[in-house]
Amino acid sequence: MAVVEALEAESEGRSGPGMSGGVREVFATPEGARRCPELAERCAAAGVALRPVTERAAATLSETVTPQGLVAVCDLPRSSVEEVLANRPRTVAVLLNVADPGNAGTVVRVADAAGAGAVLFAGDTVDPYNGKAVRASTGSVFHLPLVRERNVESVFSACRAAGLRLVGAEGGADEDLHTAERRGELDTPTAWVFGSEAHGLGEHAGEVDLTVRVPIYGRAESLNLATAAAVCLYTSARRAR
């Protein structure tokens, strides 16, 4: 669960630009503490205060309909895109005007699993620390750098300055992912750009270096944003290895 991941990050001293962490305190109901028997030990190891609360108080603190009984208060990272990309990662995910926090959090989880170096939230993309996004990430928000920048052009410029080629996932692209892979288009450091659920890359489609589509072999009209991101990010992960 995300609270446990936050405590692990705190106790292990994970830090750096864009990294979440800085757990200030943890609130736990009796039921929440029962579900996580190692909670007190983890809080002690991380030097974080553990405070008992009632179920009613936990419901007030939580954004969920059925709270799990554990709430952590964490500091938010304050970093720029340039700081996050300073170590020149080989693969990053860029979420462009993505509105659904569940999709955003799932892409963070996928990027983490695929070994991406960061996730950049560009334009009017949902806050990565929205409660639903954090839960959908299943703790991955504490594993890799995240940064939010509303100026799309500055995000794209920073990616190029870090040696990343901008490749957009677009359902209507002429070239498909597998053809691009065979031609070696994904053998260089890549910033995958994933557009909004409703409009894709929109007006920014012409600003990336290449657009590709994930081929559909069955009768489905399209892929969910997070599913398409998984296919693309794992393709880059395979090329990198």
Give dist(CA 97, CA 44) in Å, integer: 40
Q: Find the helix or strand (DSSP H, E) in which 103 lies.
A: helix 101-113
The residue-averaged pLDDT of 24-43 equals: 91
Give dist(CA 103, CA 95) in Å, integer: 10
Give dist(CA 154, CA 237) in Å, integer: 25
Q: For position 127, what pLDDT does the model report? A: 92
Give dist(CA 140, CA 123) in Å, integer: 22
Give dist(CA 46, CA 62) in Å, integer: 22
Give the three-class secondary structure for 92.
strand
Residue 13, pLDDT > 80, answer no
Give dist(CA 64, CA 150) in Å, integer: 27
- The residue ranking higher by pLDDT, 61 or 26, is 26
DSSP 108: H
Residue 19, pLDDT > 90, answer no
User: What tens digit of pLDDT does each residue of 188-234 get?
Assistant: 999 999 999 888 999 999 999 999 999 999 999 888 999 999 999 99
Residue (of 133, 103, 110, 137) closest to 232 by Cα position? 110
Amino acid at 130: N
Domains belonging to the chain, first-starting first, are 2-75 (3.30.1330), 81-240 (3.40.1280.10)
The residue-averaged pLDDT of 28-49 equals: 90
DSSP 20: -
User: What tens digit of pLDDT does each residue of 52-102 get?
Assistant: 999 888 888 877 666 778 888 888 877 899 999 999 999 999 999 999 999
Tell me the backbone φ, ψ of residue 181, rounded to 5 degrees.
-65, -45
* Structure-block tokens of residue 233: 């990010």
Residue in this structure with the two tokens 């928000």, named with its chain if needed: 141
Which has the minimum average pLDDT: 22-31, 110-119, 176-185? 22-31
Q: In degrees, to the nearest 5, what angle opens at C-alpha 166 toward C-alphas 164 and 168?
A: 150
Q: For position 14, what pLDDT does the model report? A: 65
At 16, the pLDDT band (50, 70, 90 cuts) reads low
The residue-averaged pLDDT of 35-60 equals: 89
Question: What are the angstrom distances between the C-alpha of 178 and each of 175, 201, 212, 231, 235?
Answer: 9, 20, 9, 10, 9
Amino acid at 185: E
User: What tens digit of pLDDT does each residue of 105-162 get?
Assistant: 999 999 999 999 999 999 999 999 888 898 899 889 888 999 999 999 999 999 999 9
Q: What is the mean pLDDT of the chain?
A: 90
Residue in this structure with the two tokens 């630009």, named with its chain if needed: 17
Residue (of 117, 113, 234) closest to 164 by Cα position? 117
Give dist(CA 164, CA 133) in Å, integer: 26
